[in-house]
C-alpha cells in the first residue's frame, strides 16, 4: 500500500510513494554526476567553478541518502527472523553485487582502452574485498545490514556504526574499501533510528531546510576537505533531510510520478547506467559527434536512463527481474475453474 503522508504513526514497511520519489531524485543525481565525471575524465568536458561546487554538493549526500532510506525501511525486520533476513539480503544485495560486477568486469575487459576503468582477471578474483565502479555501494550496504544482524537492536547498531565512522575518519586513505564500508554504515544505522524524526520533517518549512543544507555545504567546502571527511557530515544529513522534504512535498501534491517511477527502477538504473552512458560516449566519439560538451552530456544522460529503464521494463514483463537480482519473482496467478454441479 502506498503512502505519501508522514504522520507520527507512519509505517515505513512495504512500497511507499515518497520513499520511491526520494530514491528517484537520488538516482537521477547519481546518473548526472557520473556522466559529467566520465566526460571530464575523457577530456570532453571541463571543470568549472560552478560545476565543481555542484559536484561536491551532490556527492556530500546522494549516496548517504540511499543508505539512510535502506535503514529506514529495514526497521525491525530482523527481530526474530535473523536467518530469513540474512538469506534475503544475500539474494537481494550480495547476489547482484557479484553477478553485475562479473558482467561489467567482462565488458570492461572487452572494451580495453576505450573504457575509463581498467579491469583484469586479478581484479575479478579480488571482487569479494575490492569492488569495481559503482558496486562498492552494494558491498557496503550488505556490511551495514549484517552489522544490524550482529548488533541486534537499532540503538546498538547505531552505536557500533558510530564507532566505525570514527575509525574510518582516522584512517589515512578515505577511499580504501574498509574506510568506505565503515563510513557509510553510519547512515544506514541513522535510518534505522530516524522514524520519528522523518515523521516530523514534513512540518519543517522547505526554505529553512534548503538554507540549512546550503550553509552546511558552504561550511564544509571552506575546509577544503574531501566529501567523505567528517566535516561533511552536517551536509550529508541536511541533504538527506532536503531530499525527504522535497519528496514528501511532491508526493502530497501528486507531482512526484516521474521521480517515483525512477525510484522503483533505481536498482536497475544503478547497476547499468555507467555501461550505458559510457557505451554511448564511445559510440558518439567514433562517429565524430560534433555536438560539443552539452550535446555529449545530454545524450549520455539519456542513454544512462533510457537503456536501464528499457531493460527493467522488459525483464519485468518477462518476470525475469529476480534472475539478475533486480527485483522479486512475481508468482504466477492460476485461475481456478470450478466445474458446475451435475
pLDDT digits (tens, 9 = 90+) for 205-254: 999 999 999 999 999 999 988 888 899 999 999 999 999 999 999 988 88
Average the pLDDT over 323-334 and give the result. Answer: 80
What is the count of structural domains for the chain?
Answer: 1
* Cα–Cα distance, 177 to 38 (Å, whole number): 22
Is 4 part of any domain? Answer: no
Is 269 part of any domain? Answer: yes
Residue 342 has pLDDT above 80, yes or no: no
Mean pLDDT, the chain, whole residue set = 88
| DSSP H/E element including 82 | helix 82-89
Residue 64: closest CA among 248, 224, 235: 235
* Cα–Cα distance, 27 to 267 (Å, whole number): 9
| Listed range (31-35, 130-134, 139-143, 186-190) with the worst mean pLDDT | 130-134
Answer whether 74's CB lies under 8 Å from 192's CB: yes
pLDDT reported for residue 338: 39
Is 117 part of any domain? Answer: yes
Distances 320 to 233, 262, 311 between C-alpha atoms, Å: 39, 19, 10
Is 10 part of any domain? Answer: no
Is 330 part of any domain? Answer: no
Residue 132 has pLDDT above 70, yes or no: yes
Is 49 part of any domain? Answer: yes
Is 7 part of any domain? Answer: no
Q: What are the pLDDT digits (tens) for 138-180? A: 999 999 999 999 998 899 999 999 999 999 999 988 888 999 9
Higher pLDDT: 112 or 125? It is 125
Is 11 part of any domain? Answer: no
Residue 337 has pLDDT above 70, yes or no: no
Reported as a pLDDT band with limits 50, 70 and 90, residue 7 is very low
Residue 323 has pLDDT above 70, yes or no: yes
Phi and psi at 331, nearest 5°, equal -75, 140
Domain carrying residue 273 = 17-324
* Cα–Cα distance, 127 to 182 (Å, whole number): 18
* Cα–Cα distance, 279 to 287 (Å, whole number): 12
Cβ atoms < 10 Å from Cβ of 125: 9
* Cα–Cα distance, 276 to 307 (Å, whole number): 6
Amino acid at each position: 500500500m502506498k503512502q505519501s503522508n508522514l504522520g507520527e504513526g507512519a509505517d515505513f514497511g512495504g512500497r511507499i510513494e515518497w520513499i520511491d520519489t526520494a530514491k528517484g531524485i537520488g538516482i537521477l543525481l547519481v546518473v548526472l554526476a557520473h556522466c559529467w565525471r566520465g566526460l571530464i575524465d575523457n577530456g570532453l568536458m571541463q571543470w568549472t567553478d560552478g560545476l565543481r561546487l555542484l559536484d561536491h554538493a551532490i556527492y556530500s549526500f546522494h549516496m548517504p541518502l540511499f543508505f539512510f532510506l535502506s535503514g529506514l525501511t529495514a526497521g525491525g525486520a530482523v527481530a526474530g527472523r535473523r536467518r530469513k533476513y540474512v538469506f534475503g539480503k544475500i539474494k537481494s544485495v550480495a547476489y547482484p553485487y557479484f553477478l553485475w560486477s562479473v558482467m561489467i568486469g567482462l565488458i570492461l575487459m572487452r572494451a580495453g582502452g576505450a573504457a575509463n576503468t581498467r579491469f583484469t582477471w586479478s581484479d575479478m578474483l579480488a571482487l569479494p574485498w575490492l569492488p569495481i565502479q559503482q558496486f562498492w555501494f552494494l558491498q557496503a550496504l550488505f556490511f551495514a545490514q549484517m552489522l544490524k544482524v550482529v548488533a541486534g537492536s537499532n540503538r546498538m547498531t547505531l552505536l557500533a556504526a558510530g564507532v566505525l565512522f570514527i575509525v574510518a575518519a582516522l584512517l589515512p586513505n578515505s577511499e580504501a574499501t574498509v574506510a568506505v564500508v565503515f563510513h557509510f554504515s553510519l547512515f544506514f544505522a541513522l535510518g534505522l533510528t530516524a522514524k520519528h524524526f522523518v515523521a516530523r520533517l514534513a512540518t519543517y518549512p522547505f526554505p529553512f531546510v534548503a538554507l540549512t543544507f546550503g550553509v552546511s555545504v558552504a561550511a564544509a567546502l571552506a575546509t577544503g576537505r574531501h566529501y567523505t571527511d567528517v566535516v561533511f557530515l552536517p551536509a550529508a544529513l541536511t541533504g538527506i533531510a532536503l531530499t525527504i522534504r522535497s519528496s514528501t512535498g511532491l508526493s502530497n501534491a501528486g507531482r512526484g510520478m516521474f521521480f517515483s517511477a525512477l525510484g522503483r527502477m533505481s536498482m536497475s538504473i544503478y547497476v547499468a547506467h555507467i555501461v550505458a552512458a559510457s557505451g554511448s560516449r564511445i559510440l558518439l566519439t567514433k562517429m565524430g559527434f560534433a555536438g560539443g560538451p552539452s550535446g555529449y552530456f545530454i545524450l549520455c544522460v539519456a542513454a544512462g536512463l533510457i537503456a536501464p529503464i528499457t531493460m527493467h521494463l522488459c525483464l519485468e514483463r518477462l518476470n525475469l527481474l529476480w534472475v539478475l537480482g533486480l527485483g522479486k519473482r512475481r508468482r504466477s496467478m492460476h485461475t481456478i475453474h470450478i466445474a458446475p454441479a451435475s
